Amino acid sequence: MTGFVEEHAEEVDRAAARIRGQVRRTPTVTTDLDPTLRLKPECFQVTGSFKPRGAFNAVLSLVARGERPTGVIAVSSGNHAQAVALAASSVRLPALILIPEDANPAKVAATRALGAEVIQEGINFANRERRLREVMAERGYTLVHPFDDWDVIHGQGTAARELLADAPDLDVVAAPVGGGGLLSGTAISAKRHRASIKVVGVEPAAADDAYRTWKSGAIQTLEASPATLADGVRTTAIGSRNFEVMFGQGLVDEIVTVSEEDIAAAVRTAWSRLHLALEPTGALTLAAYLSDRLPKGRAGLVLSGGNANLQTVATILKAE
Amino acid sequence: MTGFVEEHAEEVDRAAARIRGQVRRTPTVTTDLDPTLRLKPECFQVTGSFKPRGAFNAVLSLVARGERPTGVIAVSSGNHAQAVALAASSVRLPALILIPEDANPAKVAATRALGAEVIQEGINFANRERRLREVMAERGYTLVHPFDDWDVIHGQGTAARELLADAPDLDVVAAPVGGGGLLSGTAISAKRHRASIKVVGVEPAAADDAYRTWKSGAIQTLEASPATLADGVRTTAIGSRNFEVMFGQGLVDEIVTVSEEDIAAAVRTAWSRLHLALEPTGALTLAAYLSDRLPKGRAGLVLSGGNANLQTVATILKAE
């Protein structure tokens, strides 16, 4: 094992200890699909996605380092928003979340219900980073980045750490990739567990920046927010820390892409045969498995979350 | 503890040992709804429902007693069919399943895929018991009754036994009631765990024979198969062994009924907030919890299965 892996894996160990009691140890599930397949359904995590693992580690680490933040801030239209709101409220810090105006109202309401202040006015996907810097400067709050942050990466690594404790014999571990927070943490935990384990990132073909980044060896950026069912991975590029873990250090072996039809079919299979109500992003690794795009061997799939738009899912189910 | 409870609880222990390796130890799940609530999602059981617990115990017990059956037979349009088919195939016994002609074709296909012979011609809900006796006489196969059978009851009791091992402090355990196999087994395991624990059966108001049986002290029978979303509990009366456990010995404290609207709302909550893709029958105990019909205290809900008709569920989800 390289010093890099060991050093970061020890940070994942510390993250696991830090967030214990705040996040759930989700179960490892076996299915009727394949006796060797193992699932890590993060839809059962607090707030319905893996995101609180990283958000709690970031917020609790801030406090533990004595940085005395006056509040935390994040920009997100989805699962990261709820995770940061919850983590901040657990240490009685104000949380301010910027959410684009066209976001799902249910997610905005869920974020407010967790005690966060939400700003939507004038926020869109294109200007959100600039607006974030402006509001940060006004308020003096500390940013919790959704993926390009070591504390967040180490927190996300706790999911694969649990999976491999439950299923130590896995040959392959797959996780979805958007900004790369979950995949980076997964890769650190998996390569520490066994250097020969294959780590695979899965993204929609319609949002293949990570695939092109892997192939080219330099960060590639999508021109616009991609149109995909998997709305949790619409980020246009991975972060620099994520690049370092995934490709700089080479801890990710492969990026595979799946079609929108593959994603819809995986959502249907998840709901009808596995009885897991996943959001499309949460079904990405299952889509790769079902379409035979993973390396051979016993596979563990991180299923990232379950916060689906019910109308979208009802349409997918009716299409069967 | 009464001798009755102890004697039957020891049979549940033996059932647990007998079926280990054939059925799954399903997880106990905590949710964002209520920190004291615990769920036992049997949708993750082999074949997608709790039924293999009883079916494997019955079939393996038959073989262990040296009865040398030439085959097993069952009548079911749903989850019991697949469970018996799978249990029989595990000991290389032929399985013959009578399925009413109007059953869901997907369930018929699933039963055949597990290696069972299926007879549908001329079978309907009204004549199925008579046709069963005729076919049993012709073939000489041994019946695996869906609920009025001690081996089946003891096998079903293994679910609550696991739940209480994971969550020993529960004050209330709830299970759905159709014929009473699952509820009888649940009651034996719960009362053995702690005599003061409240055991609650949940059924649709449209199929309230167990409620009327509890109130009257004698088995009440519905005039016809009831029209309810919860198609797993359409049995018209509980069995005599089930009556003995539930009300003769008084191991069930209460039967509560839920409306069709309650059931639909519980399915929506399960899918959208708990991320569990339950069938309507599997959501009965959740419906009782959400509509505040359970006794006070820390509740554990047995969620019986996940084999939903996707079209039905898509309609329920769209209605939100």
Which chain A residue has the Cα nearest residue B308? A272
Position B1 pLDDT exceeds 80: no
User: Can you give the CATH number for the domain in which A96 is found?
Assistant: 3.40.50.1100
The confidence score (pLDDT) of residue B277 equals 95
Chain A positions in Cβ-Cβ contact with residue B22 (cut-off 8 Å): none
Model confidence band, residue B27 (pLDDT cutoffs 50, 70, 90): very high
Chain B positions in Cβ-Cβ contact with residue A24 (cut-off 8 Å): 30
Chain B nearest-CA distance from A290, in A, is 19
The reply to whether A123 and A268 lie within a common domain is no
Whether complex ipTM tops 0.85: yes
For the record, the structure tokens of A175 come out as 């996780």
Q: Minimal CA–CA distance to A287: which of A199, A202, A211?
A: A202
The reply to whether B190 and B228 lie within a common domain is yes
Q: Which DSSP category does A54 fall into?
A: H
Pick from B101, B118, B143: which residue ends a domain? B143
Which chain B residue has the Cα nearest residue A39? B44
- Cβ contacts of residue B159 below 8 Å, gap of 6+? B26, B40, B42, B50, B53, B182, B185, B186, B189, B302
Put simply, the answer to whether B27 touches A29 (Cβ < 8 Å) is yes
Q: What is the mean pLDDT of residues B157-165?
A: 98
Put simply, the answer to whether A317 touches B317 (Cβ < 8 Å) is yes
Burial of residue B265 (number of CB atoms within 10 Å: 0-12, 13-18, 19+): buried
The confidence score (pLDDT) of residue B129 equals 86
Number of domains comprising chain B: 2
Put simply, the answer to whether A32 touches B43 (Cβ < 8 Å) is no
Q: What is the mean pLDDT of residues B173-183?
A: 98
The residues of chain A scoring below 50 in pLDDT are none
For the record, the structure tokens of A114 come out as 């967790």
Nearest to A276 among B277, B313, B320 (CB): B277
Chain A positions in Cβ-Cβ contact with residue B317 (cut-off 8 Å): 310-311, 313-314, 317
Full 3-state SS string of chain B: CCHHHHHHHHHHHHHHHHHECCECCCCCECCCCCCCCEEEEHHHCHHHECHHHHHHHHHHHHHHCCCCCCCEEEECCCHHHHHHHHHHHHCCCCEEEECCCCCCHHHHHHHHHCCCEEECCCCCCCCHHHHHHHHHHHHCCEECCCCCCHHHHHHHHHHHHHHHHHCCCCCEEEEECCCCHHHHHHHHHHHHHCCCCEEEEEEEHHHCHHHHHHHHCCCCCCCCCCCCCCHHHCCCCCCHHHHHHHHHCCCCCEEEEECHHHHHHHHHHHHHHHCECCCCHHHHHHHHHHCCCCCCCCEEEEECECCCCHHHHHHHHHCC
Residue of A23, A42, A275, A318 to mutate, interface with B, max B Cβ within 10 Å: A275
* Mean pLDDT value across chain B: 95
Q: Which residues of A are catalytic?
A: 51, 304
DSSP bridge pairs for A174: A200, A301
The reply to whether A161 and A271 lie within a common domain is yes
Pick from B143, B163, B179: which residue ends a domain? B143
Q: Which residue type, as a one-letter code, is found at position A184?
A: S
Put simply, the answer to whether B310 touches A278 (Cβ < 8 Å) is no
Model confidence band, residue B104 (pLDDT cutoffs 50, 70, 90): confident
Put simply, the answer to whether B48 touches A275 (Cβ < 8 Å) is yes
Chain B nearest-CA distance from A309, in A, is 8
Put simply, the answer to whether A273 touches B48 (Cβ < 8 Å) is yes
Put simply, the answer to whether A273 touches B43 (Cβ < 8 Å) is no
Put simply, the answer to whether A277 touches B270 (Cβ < 8 Å) is yes
The confidence score (pLDDT) of residue A212 equals 98
pTM of the entire structure?
0.95
pLDDT tens digits along B234-251: 899 999 999 999 999 999
pLDDT tens digits along B279-318: 999 999 999 999 999 999 999 999 999 999 888 888 888 8
Pick from A99, A128, A143: which residue ends a domain? A143
- Cβ contacts of residue B230 below 8 Å, gap of 6+? B176, B203, B204, B207, B263, B280, B281, B283, B284
Q: How far apart are CA A174 and CA A165, in angstroms?
A: 16
Which chain B residue has the Cα nearest residue A314? B314
Put simply, the answer to whether A275 touches B275 (Cβ < 8 Å) is no
DSSP bridge pairs for A115: none
The reply to whether A208 and A133 lie within a common domain is no
The confidence score (pLDDT) of residue B320 equals 62
The reply to whether B101 and B235 lie within a common domain is no
Q: Minimal CA–CA distance to B171: which of B46, B37, B10, B272?
A: B37
Chain B positions in Cβ-Cβ contact with residue A268 (cut-off 8 Å): 310
Nearest to A277 among B27, B277, B314 (CB): B277
The confidence score (pLDDT) of residue B202 equals 98
Q: Which DSSP category does A175 fall into?
A: E
User: Is B51 among the catalytic positions?
Assistant: yes
Q: For residue A81, give its domain range.
A: 53-143
Chain B positions in Cβ-Cβ contact with residue A271 (cut-off 8 Å): 271, 277, 310, 313
List residues of A whose CB lies inside 8 A of any B CB: 24, 27, 29-32, 41, 43-44, 46-48, 268, 270-278, 306, 308, 310-311, 313-315, 317-318, 320
The reply to whether A208 and A117 lie within a common domain is no
Residue A217 region, left (φ>0) first, then alpha (ψ -120 to 50), else beta?
A: left
The reply to whether A62 and A43 lie within a common domain is no
Q: Minimal CA–CA distance to A76: which of A232, A281, A203, A298?
A: A232
The reply to whether B125 and B189 lie within a common domain is no
The reply to whether A73 and A186 lie within a common domain is no
The reply to whether B176 and B85 lie within a common domain is no
Chain B positions in Cβ-Cβ contact with residue A318 (cut-off 8 Å): 310-311, 314
The confidence score (pLDDT) of residue A310 equals 84
The reply to whether B182 and B255 lie within a common domain is yes
Chain A nearest-CA distance from B30, in A, is 8
A147 three-class SS = coil
Chain B positions in Cβ-Cβ contact with residue A310 (cut-off 8 Å): 268, 271-272, 317-318, 320
Q: What is the mean pLDDT of residues B112-117?
A: 96
A112: how many CB neighbours lie within 10 A of its CB? 16
The reply to whether B32 and B101 lie within a common domain is no
